[in-house]
């Protein structure tokens, strides 16, 4: 009887979740924006893809390398999402109160369709700068009702503390997550990025999870993540795709 019990316990411990410390580990999701938009000193997409971490890459529409970047991100196994621009990319009217204008909804709907044609295989969507649009409850509610039909998750990049996008996503039942910190300020550097990563770790330690957003054209961000993520993993942090942190309520 004891032998059977010991065998049962051993089999249980061989199961994937048994004794897996990562189940309780504080989790950090790193989203890297603006794939498809390259500058002279942008680290090659292949270098980003070669990083051996779970990273979420956001690809911009209507950029010279949009489709190529999406194909590479899918091929290298990273999580691909759409980096969706409202304003200033689209010249929106954004009326206050009531319903969004017919012109605004047409422009947004057309771009949304275009995004998922040119960025196939995307698992979700986050917001570009979109400073004004994400403060407009009527437009966000309309957009998220339409977006819900795609069955994907949503990231509120929180480019303004006045954003209502995350709240509206949860209100209409779209799985959503909200950004906590940006890895770069006005003068991006490896040191600044490392400092923000430590802030994210502190936040994740206190509440269980954190989300940070950086940009793929900053070589300092690439170098920082390459160095800092292994350190944090050794300290017990788990790096996950942003979809792992999305919630419905």
Q: Where are the domains of the chain?
A: 23-245
Calpha distance 1→160 (Å, rounded): 63
Fold of 23-245: TIM Barrel (3.20.20)
Q: What angle do CA 64, 69, 70 make, to 5 degrees?
A: 115
Calpha distance 197→176 (Å, rounded): 22
pTM exceeding the 0.85 threshold for the entire prediction = yes
Per-residue model confidence as pLDDT tens digits over 89-117: 999 999 988 899 999 999 999 999 999 99
Which comes out higher in pLDDT, residue 212 or 15? 212
Residue 97 pLDDT: 84
Residue 73 pLDDT: 98
Which comes out higher in pLDDT, residue 208 or 248? 208
Mean pLDDT, all residues of the chain: 91
Residue 142 pLDDT: 97
Calpha distance 88→83 (Å, rounded): 13
Mean pLDDT of 174-201: 97
Per-residue model confidence as pLDDT tens digits over 41-62: 999 999 999 999 999 999 999 9
Name the E strands within the chain: 27-35, 56-59, 79-84, 124-127, 153-156, 176-178, 181-182, 209-215, 238-240
Scanning the structure block, which residue is given the tokens 């949860």? Answer: 170
Residue 16 pLDDT: 34
Per-residue model confidence as pLDDT tens digits over 6-50: 333 333 333 333 333 456 899 999 999 999 999 889 999 999 999
Scanning the structure block, which residue is given the tokens 């504080």? Answer: 26
Q: Can you tell me whether residue 32 is helix, strand or coil?
A: strand
pLDDT at 224 over 70: yes
Confidence of residue 168 (pLDDT cuts 50, 70, 90): very high
Residue 22 pLDDT: 52
Calpha distance 16→146 (Å, rounded): 37
Per-residue model confidence as pLDDT tens digits over 118-141: 999 999 999 999 999 999 999 999
Please give the structure tokens belonging to residue 236.
Answer: 């017990």
Confidence of residue 249 (pLDDT cuts 50, 70, 90): confident
């Amino acid at each position: 009887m004891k032998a059977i019990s010991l065998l049962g316990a051993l089999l249980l411990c061989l199961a994937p979740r048994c004794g897996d410390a990562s189940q309780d580990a504080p989790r950090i999701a790193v989203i890297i924006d603006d794939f498809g938009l390259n500058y002279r000193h942008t680290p090659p997409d292949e270098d980003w893809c070669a990083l051996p971490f779970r990273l979420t890459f956001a690809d911009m529409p209507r950029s010279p390398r949009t489709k190529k970047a999406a194909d590479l991100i899918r091929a290298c196994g990273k999580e691909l999402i759409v980096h969706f621009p409202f304003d200033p990319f689209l010249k929106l009217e954004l009326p206050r109160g009531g319903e969004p204008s017919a012109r605004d909804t047409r422009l947004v709907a057309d771009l949304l369709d275009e995004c998922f044609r040119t960025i196939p295989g995307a698992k979700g969507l986050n917001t570009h700068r979109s400073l004004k649009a994400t403060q407009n409850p009527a437009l966000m509610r309309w957009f998220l009702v339409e977006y819900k039909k795609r069955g994907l998750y949503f990231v509120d990049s929180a480019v303004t503390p006045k954003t209502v996008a995350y709240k509206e996503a949860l209100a209409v039942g779209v799985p959503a997550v909200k950004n906590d910190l940006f890895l770069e300020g006005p003068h991006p550097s490896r040191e600044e990025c490392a400092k923000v990563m430590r802030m994210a770790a502190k936040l994740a330690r206190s509440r269980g999870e954190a989300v940070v957003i950086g940009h793929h054209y900053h070589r300092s961000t690439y170098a920082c993540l390459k160095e800092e993520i292994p350190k944090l993993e050794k300290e017990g942090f788990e790096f996950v795709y942003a979809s792992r942190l999305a919630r419905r309520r």
